[in-house]
């Protein structure tokens, strides 16, 4: 196939050397999964040997695309001035790599409710589509997503798959992850498990995690207590306040499942101030496995979301929209990272027998 090599290397030269068509070369260099992994690697190796680089201007003219994606962070309250949830900040690296592997440029900015994202990016041809991270209250955010759909904006977002509108959402199996957290606590003898985080339609990811915990307790023959659920957004201060309310309520509890690591870190501080030992009095588990989770005292057991897979899946979902292809599976599994905050407690050592008192002489 193809044609004999010419002077400056082109995609046709790679096609000739690989024995494939030029469109196959183009798809392979974009990381398109419709080309087998073996063929993609073969084509990439030939491209490297030929010192081939993609002519982005020519590619854009042919496709009428900018070969640029806009990544928009939703502003979150944070202790520092970053205004970016640390979980989403950790996802930035995987999204950047996924774009680089496909020869795409990445614009990074904030998303605000009052902004017209389609006007700033896709309609002005600055970007072919958007990746959205974070959203705050989903009942308000949903209106903006519906507006983007009506305007034909291409976008992919991280969030609750169960609240998805048209297959543009990539997210974790939050129900399964919540059930996993509940089973872990129950296996350690915990029966009165509190949940810190909203558990309604305003925060659907948190709601699914709570439902998973609820299912694990019912499965174990335990009766979930709705009075052990306290609302909290994803900040340390909200976690601290929710834990204080939990303790002030006088309710009996022996474990906390926090809807995020930041909430859990705030709860650990509140428990320490109240003289409650972790995991002696209360076992604590978080969600996200942000870097700070391993640095708490004690280190925090948590549920880790697939950050690397998330970035890859978000980029692939957006590209599939742009190319009119079927979107990839949008639900990613999560796994438990066990640390000291839910450790088994060693049974108390039996008291040593007392030596008999010496006989008086």
Q: Is 88 left (phi over 0), alpha (psi -120 to 50) or beta?
A: alpha
Return averaged pLDDT per consecutive 10 residues of the chain, 361 residues in all. 61 89 80 81 90 62 71 78 80 93 90 70 80 88 83 90 81 97 97 96 95 98 96 95 98 97 98 97 97 96 95 94 87 96 68 50 39
Spatial neighbors of 77 by CB under 8 A, at least 6 apart, are 83, 233, 235
DSSP three-state, residue 278: coil
Taking the model in full, what pTM does it have? 0.76
Compute φ and ψ for 25, nearest 5 degrees: -60, -45
C-alpha dihedral over 63, 155, 32, 306, to 10 degrees? 160
3 state SS for 108-174:
EEEECCCCCHHHHCCCCCCCCEEEEECCCCHHHHHHHHHHHHHCCCCEEEECCHHHCCCCCEEEECH
Q: In the chain, what are the domains? A: 11-55 (no CATH), 68-170+308-331 (3.40.50.2300), 174-305+337-342 (3.40.50.2300)
Question: What is the widest separation between alpha-carbon atoms in the chain?
Answer: 113
Report pLDDT digits (tens) over 43-70.
Answer: 989 988 988 876 555 454 445 677 899 9
């Amino acid at each position: 196939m193809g044609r004999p090599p010419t002077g400056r290397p082109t995609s046709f030269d790679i096609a000739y050397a690989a024995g494939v068509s030029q469109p196959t070369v183009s798809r392979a260099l974009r990381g398109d999964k419709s080309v087998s992994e073996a063929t993609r690697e073969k084509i990439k190796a030939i491209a490297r040997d030929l010192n081939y680089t993609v002519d982005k201007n020519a590619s854009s003219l042919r496709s009428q695309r900018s070969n640029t994606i806009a990544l928009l962070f939703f502003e979150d309250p944070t202790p520092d001035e970053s205004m970016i949830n640390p979980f989403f900040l950790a996802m930035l690296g995987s999204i950047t790599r996924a774009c680089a592997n496909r020869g795409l440029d990445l614009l990074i900015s904030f998303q605000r409710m009052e902004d017209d994202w389609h006007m700033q990016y896709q309609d002005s041809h600055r970007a072919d589509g958007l990746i959205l991270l974070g959203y705050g209250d989903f009942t308000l955010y949903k209106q903006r997503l519906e507006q983007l759909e009506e305007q034909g904006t291409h976008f992919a977002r991280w969030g609750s798959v169960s609240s998805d509108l048209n297959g543009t959402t990539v997210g974790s199996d939050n129900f399964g992850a919540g059930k996993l957290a509940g089973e872990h606590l129950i296996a350690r003898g915990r029966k009165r498990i509190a949940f810190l985080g909203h558990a309604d339609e305003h925060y659907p990811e948190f709601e699914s995690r709570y439902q998973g915990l609820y299912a694990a307790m019912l499965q174990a023959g335990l009766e979930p207590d709705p009075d052990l659920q306290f609302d909290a957004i994803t900040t340390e201060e909200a976690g601290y306040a929710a834990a204080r309310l939990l303790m002030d309520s006088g309710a009996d509890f022996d474990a906390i499942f926090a809807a995020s690591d930041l909430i859990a870190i705030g709860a650990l501080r509140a428990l320490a101030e109240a003289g409650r030992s972790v995991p002696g009095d209360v076992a604590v588990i978080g969600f996200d496995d942000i870097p700070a989770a391993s640095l708490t005292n004690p280190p925090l057991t948590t549920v880790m979301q697939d950050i690397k897979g998330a970035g890859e899946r978000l980029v692939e979902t957006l590209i599939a929209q742009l190319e009119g292809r079927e979107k990839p599976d949008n639900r990613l599994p999560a796994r438990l990272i066990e640390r000291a905050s839910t450790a088994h407690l060693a049974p108390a050592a039996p008291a040593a027998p007392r030596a008999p008192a010496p006989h008086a002489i």
